[in-house]
C-alpha cells in the first residue's frame, strides 16, 4: 500500500513538473485573427470618381480648382457610403493625381462595381447659370439602368440641397466604355458666385453628400441590387 502511494506521488510529481515545463517553454501563440464563421452578405461596391485631378484641374475660377472641390465632396460621400452596412466605396483617386478617364472606368469593371458615379462641379460663361444636373452617355438604351441611377441621384441631390433642378441630360461621354450603370453628376456651378460660396462650404458639401448617398440607395433599392446576395448589376466580363 505504501509503495502504491509512493508510486502515485512520483507519477503526480512527474506530471506536475511536465506541465510546468510545457508552460515555461511553450512558444507564444502567433497573433491570429478570429475566424468569422457566420456567412456575410457580400458588399455592394460603389465606385466614386472625383472628376479630374493632377495635371487636369477641371474648371478654374480664380484660385479655385474644380479637381479639389470634387475630391472634398467625394470624400464626404465616401464616409457616408462606408457607414452603410452592405456598401463598400472605392475611389478612383484619393489624392491630387492624374488618372486617365478610361483607367477610372476600368477600375470599376475590375472591382466588380455595382455602379460608377463621377462627381464634378460645373462652369459656364454666364455667372447667373446655377443648379445641378446629371449626365448619362448618349449611347445608353432607354432601358439601361444608368438612367435610373442618374434620375435617383439627381432627384435626391436637388431635394437635399435645394439646388435648381437642371435635370438628367445626355451627351457623348467616356462612360460609353463600360457597361456598368454609370452617370456623372454636376452638383453646382463654380462660376455662379452665390453657388460657388455654397460649394466651398463644408456644411453644404455635407448636404450634397447626403443627397448623393440617398440617390445611390434609392437606385440600389429600385434596381433590386440589395435583394440579390452575391450579385450586383455588374455584367460578366466579355
Ligand atoms: Zn468636371
Residues 128-143, mean pLDDT to the nearest whole number = 97
Q: What is the pTM of this model?
A: 0.80
Task: Give the Å distance between the CA of 185 and the centre of ligand 1.
Answer: 9
Report CA-CA distances (Å) from 194 to 59, 60, 168, 198, 218: 17, 16, 23, 7, 29
More confident residue, 222 or 14: 222
Instruction: Report, as an integer, the average pLDDT of 61-65.
Output: 97
Distance of alpha carbon 159 from alpha carbon 213, whole angstroms: 12
Position 5 confidence tier, pLDDT thresholds 50, 70, 90: confident
- In DSSP notation, 159-180 reads HHH---EEEEEEE--GGGG--S
Q: Output the CA 41–ligand 1 centroid distance in Å.
A: 35
What are the domain boundaries of the chain? 44-227
For residue 127, the tally of other CB atoms under 10 A from its CB is: 14
Q: Which overall architecture, per CATH, does domain 44-227 show?
A: 3-Layer(aba) Sandwich (3.40)
Q: How far is the CA of 26 from the centre of ligand 1 (A)?
A: 61
Pairing outcome for strands 115-122 and 44-50: parallel
In angstroms, the first-to-last Cα distance of the chain is 84
**51 C-alpha to center of ligand 1: Å?**
5
Residue 125 CA to ligand 1 center (angstroms) comes to: 15
Please give the distance, rounded to the nearest whole angstrom, from the Cα atom of residue 223 to the centre of ligand 1: 27
Residues 6+ apart with CB under 8 A from 114: 44, 45, 46, 180, 181, 220, 225, 232, 233, 234
Query: Where are the alpha helices (H) located in 62-140, listed in sequence order?
Result: 66-82, 101-110
- Using the mean position of ligand 1's atoms as its centre, give its distance from the Cα of residue 120 in Å: 5
Instruction: Look at residue 34 in the predicted model and tell me its pLDDT.
Output: 59
Q: Is the pLDDT of residue 102 over 90?
A: yes
Please give the mean pLDDT across all residues of the chain: 89
Could you tell me how far CA 207 lies from the centroid of its own chain? 17
CA 200 to the chain's CA centroid: 21
pLDDT at 150 over 50: yes
Query: How does residue 231 score in pLDDT terms, banded at 50, 70 and 90?
Result: very low
pLDDT band at 3 (very low <50, low <70, confident <90, very high): confident
Amino acid at each position: 500500500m505504501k509503495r502504491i502511494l509512493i508510486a502515485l506521488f512520483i507519477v503526480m510529481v512527474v506530471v506536475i513538473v511536465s506541465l510546468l515545463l510545457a508552460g515555461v517553454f511553450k512558444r507564444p501563440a502567433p497573433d491570429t485573427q478570429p475566424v468569422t464563421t457566420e456567412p456575410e452578405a457580400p458588399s455592394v461596391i460603389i465606385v466614386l470618381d472625383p472628376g479630374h485631378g493632377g495635371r487636369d484641374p477641371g474648371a478654374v475660377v480664380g484660385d479655385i480648382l474644380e479637381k479639389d472641390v470634387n475630391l472634398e465632396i467625394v470624400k464626404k460621400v465616401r464616409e457616408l457610403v462606408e457607414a452603410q452596412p452592405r456598401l463598400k466605396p472605392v475611389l478612383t483617386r484619393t489624392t491630387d493625381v492624374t488618372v486617365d478617364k478610361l483607367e477610372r472606368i476600368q477600375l470599376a469593371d475590375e472591382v466588380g462595381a455595382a455602379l460608377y458615379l463621377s462627381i464634378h462641379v460645373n462652369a459656364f460663361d454666364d455667372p447667373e447659370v446655377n443648379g445641378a444636373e446629371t449626365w448619362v452617355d448618349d449611347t445608353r438604351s432607354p432601358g439601361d439602368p444608368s438612367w435610373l441611377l442618374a434620375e435617383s441621384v439627381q432627384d435626391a441631390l436637388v431635394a437635399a440641397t435645394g439646388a435648381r433642378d437642371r435635370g438628367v441630360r445626355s451627351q457623348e461621354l467616356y462612360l460609353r466604355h463600360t457597361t456598368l450603370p454609370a452617370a456623372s453628376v454636376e452638383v453646382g456651378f463654380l462660376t455662379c458666385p452665390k453657388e460657388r460660396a455654397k460649394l466651398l462650404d463644408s456644411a453644404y458639401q455635407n448636404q450634397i453628400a447626403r443627397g448623393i448617398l440617398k440617390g445611390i440607395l434609392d437606385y440600389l433599392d429600385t434596381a433590386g441590387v440589395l435583394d440579390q446576395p452575391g450579385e450586383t448589376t455588374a455584367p460578366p466580363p466579355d
